[in-house]
């Protein structure tokens, strides 16, 4: 075991603080990664604050990890020392069930091992990327294409795949009319990816405050959802609405914006239920759907797609000492558009 510096939440209500965590010795298929950057996902905040249920503390979050390979186990073939790599929301799965065999490890029937806060194979609780090093089994380590810098690539490991996967699943492409609700970490990736896929993209944000950014990121239109007129103007305007909001939204109002046969796909994951009237579905053969990150193969496909299309996250790099302040800004929707922790500052 090796001790490394990390930032962890000591309890549900307390701010994150500097601590040390243990990393296991390398098994034959393990990769040791020197973490360079770790993005701050809203899920980190939901999790450490207990929004999704009780956790074991201390808990170091972080599932948008990039860095370089520092060492490999004796049987590792996919990665070599010095490679630029990434780790997302999962660090293992059974590899044998129907879902793992079709490359949808996030739906592993035996439960994928999430990057932090999950019970690992050895019974320990996984600890995430707000740390100097991480040990991950080789098949869950992604290649970062040369065209992507490690800092702007980090958020792709969650925000990128969580928006890419449903846009592909719902066959967004040339001619699709897509709305992205919420221009935060996920939303700003969703806009760029939907645009690169050829869709006509509309941002639905609470206000027009980030309109210039939205249009620069590739949106064709931008509307404020606090303006009730928006819901009249845009009636039946979209084939797919990607909802990235971290709080409950009025699903019935948004379903009015979905055209016949369209769908609203929820990736935002507030703990509260969303109210739905069946009439707003059957009145337009509409669907309400959800999506959960994406499999490892698709995550690599997304990284390659982003490199090819010159897409990456827009980030604010922060020292580890600013994590708690960054959390408050994320909660206040004051993020443009992802905070990324510079791991070299963890020990400062």
Cβ at position 265, least distance to ligand NAP in Å: 9
Nearer CB in complex with ligand NAP: 42/79: 42
Of residues 18, 24, 46, 211, which one binds ligand NAP by CB under 6 A?
Answer: 46
Nearer CB in complex with Zn ion: 106/137: 106
Cβ at position 299, least distance to Zn ion in Å: 12
3-state secondary structure (DSSP) of residue 51 = coil
Cβ at position 46, least distance to ligand NAP in Å: 5
Q: Are 303 and 145 in contact (CB under 8 A)?
A: yes
Residues in 292-311 that interact with ligand NAP by CB under 6 A:
292-293
> At which residue do the structure tokens 């390659």 appear?
304
Point out the residue whose Cβ comes nearest to Zn ion: 41
Q: Is 205 in the site for ligand NAP (CB under 6 A)?
A: yes
Of residues 126, 137, 202, 244, which one binds ligand NAP by CB under 6 A?
Answer: 244
Q: Around Cβ 341, how many Cβ atoms within 10 Å?
A: 30
What size, in residues, is the chain?
348
Nearer CB in complex with Zn ion: 41/135: 41
Stretch of 113-121, 170-178, 262-270, 305-313 lying at the interface with ligand NAP (CB under 6 A)? 262-270
* Structural tokens at position 345: 């500052």
Pairing mode of beta strands 221-224, 315-318: unpaired
Sheet containing strand 258-266, strands side by side: 221-224, 200-205, 177-181, 238-243, 258-266, 287-290
Stretch of 53-61, 109-117, 143-151, 157-165 lying at the interface with Zn ion (CB under 5 A)? 157-165
Pairing mode of beta strands 258-266, 287-290: parallel
Q: How far apart are CA 220 and CA 215, in angstroms?
A: 6
Q: Are 126 and 116 in contact (CB under 8 A)?
A: yes
6 phi and psi angles, rounded to 5 deg = -145, 165
| Residue 182 binds which entry of ligand NAP, Zn ion, none, CB below 5-8 Å type-dependent | ligand NAP
Residues in 42-61 that interact with Zn ion by CB under 5 A:
43
Q: Is 212 exposed, middle or buried (0-12, 13-18, 19+ CB in 10 A)?
A: exposed
Of residues 21, 31, 41, 219, which one binds Zn ion by CB under 5 A?
Answer: 41
Stretch of 71-79, 113-121, 143-151, 268-276 lying at the interface with ligand NAP (CB under 6 A)? 268-276
Closest CA to 23 of 116, 95, 106: 116
Q: How far apart are CA 66 and CA 207, in angstroms?
A: 33
- What residues pair up with 80 in beta bridges, in sequence order? none
Nearer CB in complex with ligand NAP: 127/225: 225
Q: Is 42 in the site for ligand NAP (CB under 6 A)?
A: yes
Q: Is the N-terminal amide bond of 58 cis, ω within 30° of 0?
A: yes
Nearer CB in complex with ligand NAP: 32/40: 40
Of residues 72, 100, 157, 186, which one binds ligand NAP by CB under 6 A?
Answer: 186
**Which residues make up the interface to Zn ion (CB under 5 A)?**
41, 43, 158
**Which residues make up the interface to ligand NAP (CB under 6 A)?**
41-43, 46, 158-159, 162, 182-187, 205-206, 244-247, 267-270, 291-293, 330, 333, 335
């Amino acid at each position: 075991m090796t001790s490394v510096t990390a930032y962890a939440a000591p309890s549900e209500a307390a701010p994150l603080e500097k601590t040390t965590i243990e990393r296991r010795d390398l098994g034959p298929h393990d990769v040791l990664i020197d973490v360079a950057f770790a993005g701050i996902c809203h899920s980190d905040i939901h999790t450490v604050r207990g929004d999704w249920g009780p956790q074991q503390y201390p808990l170091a979050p972080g599932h948008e990890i990039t860095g370089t390979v520092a060492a490999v186990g004796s049987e590792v073939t996919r990665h070599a020392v010095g490679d630029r790599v990434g780790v997302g929301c999962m660090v293992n799965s059974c590899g044998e069930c129907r879902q793992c065999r079709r490359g949808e490890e996030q739906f592993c029937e035996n439960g994928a091992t999430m990057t932090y806060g999950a019970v690992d194979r050895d019974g320990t609780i996984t600890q995430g990327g707000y740390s100097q090093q991480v040990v991950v089994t080789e098949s869950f380590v992604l290649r970062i294409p040369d065209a992507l810098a490690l800092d702007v690539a980090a958020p792709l490991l969650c925000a990128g795949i969580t928006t890419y996967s449903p846009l592909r699943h719902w066959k967004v492409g040339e001619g699709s009319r897509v709305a992205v609700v919420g221009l935060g970490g996920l939303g700003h990736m969703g806009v760029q990816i939907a645009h690169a896929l050829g869709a006509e993209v509309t941002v639905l944000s609470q206000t027009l405050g980030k309109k210039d950014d939205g249009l620069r990121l590739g949106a064709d239109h931008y509307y404020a959802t606090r303006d009730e007129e928006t819901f009249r103007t845009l009636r039946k305007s979209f084939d797919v609405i990607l909802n990235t909001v971290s709080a409950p939204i009025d699903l019935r109002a948004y379903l009015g914006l979905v055209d016949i046969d369209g769908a609203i796909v929820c990736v935002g994951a507030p703990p509260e239920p969303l109210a739905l009237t069946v009439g707003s579905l059957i009145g337009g053969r509409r669907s309400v759907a959800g999506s959960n990150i994406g499999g490892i193969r698709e995550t690599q496909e997304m990284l390659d797609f982003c490199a090819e299309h010159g897409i990456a996250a827009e980030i604010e790099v922060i020292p580890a000492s600013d994590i708690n302040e960054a959390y408050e800004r994320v909660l206040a929707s004051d993020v443009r558009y992802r905070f990324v922790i510079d791991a070299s500052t963890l020990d400062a």
